[in-house]
């Protein structure tokens, strides 16, 4: 994320900025960060590739899939955060924060990260997301190399995870009860020349 400005913002000023802009901004203790810099071609292509595999029409099963402009209430990091994709299979619940709707009950959260955002998405942002009671599944997708990390919260409260780093791999998302193949996730995505995608032998 890149800073929008060096100045400090009050929450009221941040809310006014959000309401007046088409861009996405996040607020951290007086600082405002512009998320539009994350929208590379690879980032956008991966998100587009994810929509169909994540259940086709999830509404037919009582599920909902939301794209990146939906705000998510995160108790540990107020007032709210943005994710690249969010899903749940119950009635969505929202709270009005700063004049806008913020989802309060996501189950699955998906983040597509770059080298500059990977540490934050794996670290502080994941820690903050864990303060959401309904949050049980987290999927991290790299945009610069074929790699996915999938976290699932067990009944004990422990988070279990698996990592996949080749285009022949797949994983199953419990929230939407669907299989996700990395070959689909990375279709039409061009990696840096230093990265050589691998495939499992048949």
181 bridge partner residues: 170
Q: What is the distance between the alpha carbons of residues 54 and 48, in angstroms, rounded to a whole number?
A: 11
**Domains of the chain: which residue ranges?**
1-38, 39-185
81 bridge partner residues: 72
What is this structure's pTM? 0.89
The pLDDT of residue 201 is: 44
Confidence of residue 4 (pLDDT cuts 50, 70, 90): very low
- pLDDT of residue 175 exceeding 70: yes
The winner for highest mean pLDDT among 23-27, 49-53, 115-119, 157-161 is 157-161
Q: What is the distance between the alpha carbons of residues 15 and 80, in angstroms, rounded to a whole number?
A: 11
Whether omega for the bond prior to residue 79 falls within 30 degrees of 0, making it cis, is yes
- Tokens 């199953």: give the residue: 172
Check the CA dihedral 172-129-148-47 and report its sign.
positive
- Tokens 């934050």: give the residue: 120
Mean pLDDT to the nearest integer, 116-122: 91
Confidence of residue 61 (pLDDT cuts 50, 70, 90): confident
* Burial class for 145, CB neighbours closer than 10 Å (0-12, 13-18, 19+): middle
Q: What is the CATH number of domain 39-185?
A: 3.90.1570.10
Confidence of residue 23 (pLDDT cuts 50, 70, 90): confident
């Amino acid at each position: 994320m890149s800073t929008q400005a060096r100045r400090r913002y009050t929450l009221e000023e941040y809310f006014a900025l959000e309401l007046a802009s088409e861009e996405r901004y996040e607020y951290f203790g007086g600082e405002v960060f512009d998320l539009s810099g994350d929208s590379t071609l690879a980032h956008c292509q991966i998100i587009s590739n994810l929509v169909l595999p994540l259940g086709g029409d999830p509404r037919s099963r009582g599920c909902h899939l939301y794209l990146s402009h939906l705000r998510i209430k995160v108790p540990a990091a107020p007032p709210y955060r943005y994710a690249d994709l969010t899903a749940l299979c119950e009635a969505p619940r929202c709270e009005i924060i700063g004049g806008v709707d913020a989802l309060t009950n996501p189950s699955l959260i998906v983040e597509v990260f770059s080298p500059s955002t990977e540490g934050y998405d794996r670290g502080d942002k994941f820690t903050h997301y864990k303060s959401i009671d309904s949050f049980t599944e987290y999927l991290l997708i790299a945009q610069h190399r074929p790699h996915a990390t999938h976290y699932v919260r067990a009944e004990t409260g422990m988070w279990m995870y698996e990592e996949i780093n080749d285009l022949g791999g797949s994983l199953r998302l419990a929230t939407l009860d669907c299989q996700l193949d990395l070959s689909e996730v990375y279709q039409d995505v061009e990696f840096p020349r230093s990265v050589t995608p691998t495939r499992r032998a048949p």
